[in-house]
Amino acid sequence: MAHDKQTQITNVKRRDALKLLATAAVAMPVMSMASHAAAVTAKTKGAELIYRPTDPDMLKPIVPWSMTLTQAELDDLAVLADIIIPADAQSPSAASLGAQHFINEWVSAPYPQQKADLVLVRGGLVWLNAEAKKRFDKAFAKLSTDQQKQICDDICFEPKAAAHLKHGARFFAKVRDLTATAFYTTEPGMADIGYIGNKPMPSFDGPSDEVLRKLKLKS
């Protein structure tokens, strides 16, 4: 019972930390990888509209590159995503929202940063399974949840990771960042942090007197 309570507390702290990071990120424009789509052409009312990578058709996004990761790699990433952001009373888990597929799309992109991330993620998954085999004689996805979390706990914070686990910690940090990006740019993820975006209003009465006084715009 004490262990379950501690696990619950850990999950809450992890989610709260990710929410804090996501709240800052959501304030910035979020660009989908589909914004790099190849040019496509649409016709409307006799005029030709050309959609280019810098001006994509956001209503019909496309991804012009092939996905790179294997199903086994996606399965491992799904397990990690659900450890990083598990389901709770407010929202579903990261994997159920497709975080692993977002990561696949990201690392499959033909750009320098994404190519470097592909090497890190793929190498990290190889390392993860080797570590699981060394500790528990099973592949990572076949371990119990407690065994999976034992490994993740050892690599979840690079500055405190043991020297021989540093590579694993760098890999985990990348997967955590991509998982949080995937989760908190979905509707359930945005709702989880209370972000509602632009909403139509019947009228706008301006800032309250309290706000104006705080800004020293009103006495």
pLDDT tens, position by position, 72-131: 999 999 999 999 999 999 999 999 999 999 999 999 999 999 999 999 999 999 999 999
* Residue 146 confidence class, pLDDT cut points 50, 70, 90: very high
Q: Is residue 168 part of a domain?
A: yes
What does pLDDT average to over the chain?
A: 83
pLDDT reported for residue 34: 41
Whether residue 173 lies inside any domain: the answer is: yes
Q: Is residue 26 pLDDT above 70, yes or no?
A: no
Residue-wise pLDDT tens digits, 169-213: 999 999 999 999 999 999 999 999 888 888 888 888 888 899 999
Q: Is 182 a member of any domain?
A: yes
Distance CA 24, CA 28 (A): 7
Count: domains in the chain: 1
Does residue 33 lie in a domain region? no
DSSP states of the chain: -HHHHHHHHHHHHHHHHHHHHHHHHHTSPP--GGGGPPPEEEEETTEEEEEBTTB--TTS----S-----HHHHHHHHHHHHHHS---SSS--TGGGTHHHHHHHHHHSSSHHHHHHHHHHHHHHHHHHHHHHHHHSS-GGGS-HHHHHHHHHHHS-GGGS-GGGHHHHHHHHHHHHHHHHHHHTSHHHHHHTT-------S----S-HHHHHHTTS--
For residue 112, tell me if it sits in a domain: yes
pLDDT in tens, 31-88: 444 443 333 334 444 445 555 656 667 677 778 899 999 999 999 999 999 999 999 9
pLDDT for residue 28 is more than 50:
no
The whole model's pTM is what?
0.70
Is residue 88 situated within a structural domain?
Answer: no
Domain that holds residue 123: 101-192
22 domain-assigned: no
Domain-embedded: residue 154: yes
